[in-house]
Chains A and B, each alone.
Chain A
Amino acid sequence: MNLCLKLSVWMLALLGAGAVYAQSELSYDTNSSFLKWPEHIYMGEPAGVAHNSKGHIFIYTRTGSVNASTGTSRTFVRGGTRLFEFDQNGNYVREIGQDIYGFVWAENVRVDPQDNIWAVDSGSNMVIKFDPQGRITMLFGRKPESATIPTMPPESRPAPNANAFGGRGPGAGVLGDNFGSPADVSWDAAGNIFVADGHGTGGNARIAKFDKDGRFVKTWGSYGSGEGQFNTPHAIAVDAKGNVYVADRGNRRIQVFDNDGNFKTQYTGIGSPMAMCITPGPHQYLFASNSNDAGNYDNGEIYKLELDGTVLGKFGSAGKGPKQFGTVHAMDCQSENELYVGEVLNWRVQRVTLHPGGGKSSK
């Protein structure tokens, strides 16, 4: 490699976008047919996928249709989202939460260390905790009683009032669990609950922390691009030390906070993180998906990082074929080399196996 080329590589590495293309490609395979669906049950968009300690797989999916009905002067909305459980071999086990009030628009599902199943629904503004038997044991947020029929499209609605939320800024939310289109949930080792809430200018842009008994502890963040501000905090994960990683999708970065919400650092150069997860075990890794927009096949690669932000490599690209990804919305880290990846555009969950040592270095 001559000096000129070395300099070029350095310059590329210094540029954010350049860094993306300088990462090594990780070798991987996928299996997209391991889930055995019963007749007459279909997956829709798999918004969330998670596994429990037995290796059972939970899929929270947008399927069927949201229905609206008119009572008096109001319009009520229900349905359109279901939660399914499969065993470690992909055999169908059961449905959980049939026809419940809070299943409207699936956003994510996660399983905590005690095998409780947590569904995050941005249509009902709720986070719903099921015990391992599938019974509801705790609720956060409340579904709006009725849907407001807006008289203008979302893009022409007025911007949020800067003095909203007690002067804490647009998107800062109430001091409690009244969410605005929440996206994801995670826990620290003490069982404290962290909710990424929520989606862009129409929803909230904050993190809310609760203790293990569901008591509100604090909230941080508002809509914006500064440190500790968010533009669609779309995924959240907590490491073994209690640090909080937030996929700040609209700002194309991952922000890292301590357990009290103090900003520590941020990682860029990994695109727009739509989905994110942290692996279990003594050496933890961070995976983040730079998912393609539904309207194009740009990007689509998934990054593997050390928790300190060092990018170890990437794999995948947007598309419909095997080993390709169609707008990854769900990602579950089973281990350093085993992931479940759910794609909005392709209505499928792929089991991804990375082959360490088989990686090809970029030239």
Chain B
Amino acid sequence: MTRNLGICGFVTGLLLFSGVACGQNQIPPRPSAYATAPDIPFTSVPNFIKLPAGLYLGEGIGVASNSKGHLFVFTRSGRTRLFEFDRTGEFVREMGDGLYAFEMAHGVRVDPQDNIWVVDEGSNMIVEFNPQGRVIMTLGRKPEAGGGRLFATPPNGAPPPPAQPYFFNRPTDLAWDPAGDIFVADGYGNSRIVKYDKNGVFIKAVGTKGKEPLQFDTPHTIAADAQGNIYVGDRGNRRIQVLDNDLNLKKIIDNVGAPWAICISQGPHQYLYASNSNPDSSDSRYFPVSGEIYKMELDGTVLGKFGTPGKLLGEFSTTHWIDCRHENELLISEITSWRVQKILLHPSTASARASK
């Protein structure tokens, strides 16, 4: 539902009001892995994404590549939009233009069959497109238009309504195991992980809001390894919780900061990447303690780190998404710089340097 409010000043006042409500949070320390993790040399490919005249990216919410190297960028532009680019960064097409579920982008992933899945935290929906760009499955349902009302923001601290098997409350991300079962991180409103089978039938859910094991404080990003283990970036608790395929807790990784974005590479030897992003509050006091991305073994052994916060090419402005189909070729999208960077890691130079 889109409605012309007419009185622009009114809306501006609303934005303005919410803009000054930001508090002053306690600044966390550097993650403990930072001091010992070696720096991985890297470069950012200049002018990688090429947009047609008159077309712009908004907040770089999500980026995912398919088996041909095409990339799909889910962005908060004037509207929420989904763009496809080829492996050289040339614009291919827009998908889902005007889609009912496109309200507030949060994530995009490509499954092994090259289907494109988007997560929208504004409509509470997950939508699967086939490689041709047609919708073939949906999860969740966008709330019906509120009888002509705008929604008042719930007061801070108000408990969310009980979670339902087939409805989300601001979902953030999804992943698949080798059987095609679907794991949804849900999300800002709920604090749980939900498992569905490949046909979208609910199997189980775990998690409530909190700090204990198997509780979550904004499960913001999720990935599965080739064995079907599930890795959850529990951002507010500054940890990654590793679950088995039945959603039992296996391990907690808590030395790499607040995982805004995680990603597991493909191939026989898989690696785990996690971004300790500088917060979108743009508070410069976080800059000395955040902004780096860690590379790990799946068991949590930290292999290295790279990146610093900033607005220049090769710096990161609140990394929101990582695509790591290839171990040393990452696609990184950022919230507070409206862009996608193609990052090439050069670990051989790092090991050469370390061996001296």
Contact = CB atoms under 8 A, between A and B. Distances in A.
B54 A95 contact: yes
Contact of B12 (A66, A71, A160): A66
B1 A146 contact: no
Contacts of B354: none
B335 interface: yes
Contacts of B146: 70
Contact of B336 (A142, A180, A202): A142
Interface string B71-107: 0000111110000000000000000000000011000
B206 interface: no
A10 interface: no
Contacts of A75: 14, 150-151, 153
Contacts of A232: none
Nearest to A176: B284
Contacts of B17: 148, 150, 154, 157, 202
Contacts of B149: 70
B2 interface: yes
B162 interface: no
A148 B153 contact: yes
B6 to A, nearest CB: 7
A191 to B, nearest CB: 13
B191 interface: no
Interface in A254-268: none
A317 to B, nearest CB: 25
Contacts of B338: 100-101, 136, 139
A76 B282 contact: no
A138 interface: yes
Interface in B1-33: 1-6, 8, 11-22, 24
Contacts of A77: 11, 14-15
A174 B283 contact: yes
A101 B281 CA distance: 17
A179 B338 CA distance: 17
B145 interface: yes
Given A66-B8, A67-B2, A181-B19, A99 B79 contact: yes
Nearest to B9: A105
A320 interface: no
A124 interface: yes
Contact of A148 (B14, B189, B310): B14
B154 A73 contact: yes
Contact of B142 (A66, A71, A134): A71
B311 interface: yes
A69 B8 contact: no
Interface in B155-183: 169-170
B123 interface: yes
B11 A123 contact: yes
Nearest to A100: B56
Contacts of A114: none
A136 B56 contact: yes
A165 B90 CA distance: 44
B11 A71 contact: no
A175 interface: yes
Contacts of B244: none
Interface in A51-70: 62, 65-70
A192 to B, nearest CB: 14
B19 A214 contact: no
A213 B310 contact: yes
B122 A165 contact: no
Contacts of A103: 78
A145 B103 CA distance: 11
Contacts of B276: none
B126 to A, nearest CB: 14
Contacts of A71: 103-104, 120-124, 142-143
A178 interface: yes
Interface string A60-95: 001001111111111111111000000000000001
B282 A144 contact: no
Contacts of B323: none
A204 B75 CA distance: 28
Interface in A154-209: 154, 157, 160, 164-166, 174-181, 199, 202-204
A178 B103 contact: no
Contacts of A101: 58-59, 75-78, 338
Contacts of A66: 5, 8, 11-12
Given A67-B3, A71-B124, A104-B12, A148 B18 contact: yes
A68 B11 contact: yes
B317 interface: yes
Given A99-B77, A146-B153, A122 B282 contact: no
A272 interface: no
Contacts of B124: 71-72
Contacts of A165: 24
A213 B150 contact: no
Contacts of A78: 78-79
Contacts of B6: 65
A307 B282 CA distance: 34
A124 B12 CA distance: 8
A294 to B, nearest CB: 10
A161 B246 CA distance: 48
Contacts of B335: 142
Contacts of B55: 98
B35 interface: no
B282 A177 contact: yes
11 contacts: A68-B150, A70-B143, A71-B122, A72-B124, A78-B78, A100-B78, A136-B57, A147-B11, A148-B21, A149-B152, A180-B16
Given A73-B154, A75-B151, A154-B13, 10 more contacts: A67-B3, A70-B143, A125-B15, A146-B153, A166-B24, A176-B282, A176-B284, A202-B13, A213-B312, A214-B311
Interface of A: 62, 65-80, 95, 97-105, 122-125, 134-136, 138-151, 154, 157, 160, 164-166, 174-181, 199, 202-204, 213-216
Task: Kindly list the 10 A-B residue pairs having the minimum CB-CB distance in the complex, ordered from nearest.
Answer: A71-B122, A99-B78, A101-B58, A214-B311, A71-B103, A176-B284, A147-B14, A216-B284, A148-B18, A178-B282
